[in-house]
Amino acid sequence: MLTFQIENLYTKATGPEHEMHILRNILSCYVPGYSFTKAYKEGRWNGKKYFLTKKGFLPTGLLPYAIKKLPPWIQINKIDQRNIPQFTCRKPCVHQITLRPYQIGAISIACSKKRGVIQAPAGSGKTEIAIGIISSLSYPKTLYLVHQSDLMYQSAERIKKRLQCEPGLMGDGNYREKRITVAMIQTLWSRIKEPLTESFLRNTELLIIDECHHASATTWYKIAMKTQAFFRFGLSATPLVANSLKNMKLAAATGPLIVKIREDKLVEHGYLCSPKIKIFNVQSPILSPYMPYPMAYEQGIIRNATRNLLIEDLAKGLVAEGRTVLILVEAIEHGNRLAELLNAPFLSGKETRKIRKKTISSLSKKEIDILITTKIFDEGIDVPAISAVIMAAGGKSYVRCIQRIGRSMRTNESKKNPVIIDFLDNCHPHLKRHSLKRIKLYREKNYPISFLENQIPL
């Protein structure tokens, strides 16, 4: 028999050696790139990360997964020693909006399960779900964790509006703790050993991690595993990958996936707009297949005059159709080049918050038709007016691609069906391979795709 003594953060497992060995193997996974490490090649490491320590401790968030995977012949005894805050679960009360049925459902499940990951597509109102959870749990002492200053301020403003209370801020020069506190991970990490921070994390009752797919990163994970909150939730638009190190660490910090809101269902009920994908072929310049990727990206994407002029023409054509256009780039040089071609504003992330806020407000009000931006727009920025996105950055990231598509899918009374412009970059093998990965994602999502400009059959 395995006995689990359950506390808020960690659970102590005890039992026969052979059963503990089975549990240890269940709570393990291979580390990405392990086969290339010196330790693995020399036979000093098997390439695995183990979440059960030699003393028998495991993250409580992984306990449901472990119990589910244990053989049925192993008996289980659970001793719950968690510090559970006094709370009354009630109907969520938020101001100035009516929660959608799927949001109410997600809040209800979260309050019932008490911890776990809520997966919901961009534009589904994840922040409103989080605020609803805070309200339903009768305003426990809350840490709302983000990774960007813009997200911190945006989340704090939304909390103030919806809950009619002023949240505390930790980040961008602020360090004010309140009943509900929105904090940047970088700020907490820089003060992690300070008594005030230790006390704050020790007394937190509800942890909400926004864009929780970041939670596998070292600082995110360590902060989460120092926060003694009983209620723990992660919010993300990013699909989870089973048995990966990234998602085992996420489950360890927050718990298993408890809610999955499907994008196609939200489109079906009119809560999101379904995008149309248009792929344009880029054949020149022909680059040597032996050219290193950084140089190929520079020549084939950033400084590719043919491609940049095509982006200029496409953006102007979309504006002529009455659309509000977002152009996404990776490199600041690329953004500057396109900004000069289009005479359009470019947000690189180096501007003051005041300038960024003013520019985004102008885009929302349709005072400007085109905005060029870097990855600062990948997560959390809410501008329903955007009806076209040009994927100028290229790249192969599944997460980034989903986030960038989501910029256009939010509904708006006067909004046309969104258009996503992307490119089949045929000028270098790496660039083409990245293009094909994005096209594969569009097909998996069942988005209608048009191949234009003499496309090569795929």
- Measured CA to CA, the distance from residue 410 to residue 387 in angstroms comes to 9
pLDDT at 331: 94
Judged by DSSP in three states, 401 sits in helix
Judged by DSSP in three states, 413 sits in coil
Four-residue CA torsion sign, 155, 156, 159, 162: negative
pLDDT at 381: 64
Q: Write out residues in the chain with pLDDT < 50, as ranges.
A: 454-458
- Measured CA to CA, the distance from residue 404 to residue 328 in angstroms comes to 8
Structural domains present in the chain: 2-80 (3.30.780.20), 101-266 (3.40.50.300), 273-452 (3.40.50.300)
pLDDT at 364: 84
pLDDT at 453: 65
Most distant CA atoms of the chain, gap in Å = 72
Q: Buried b / exposed e across 15-32, counting CB within 10 Å, b at 16+?
A: beeebbebbbebbbbeee
- Measured CA to CA, the distance from residue 436 to residue 374 in angstroms comes to 22
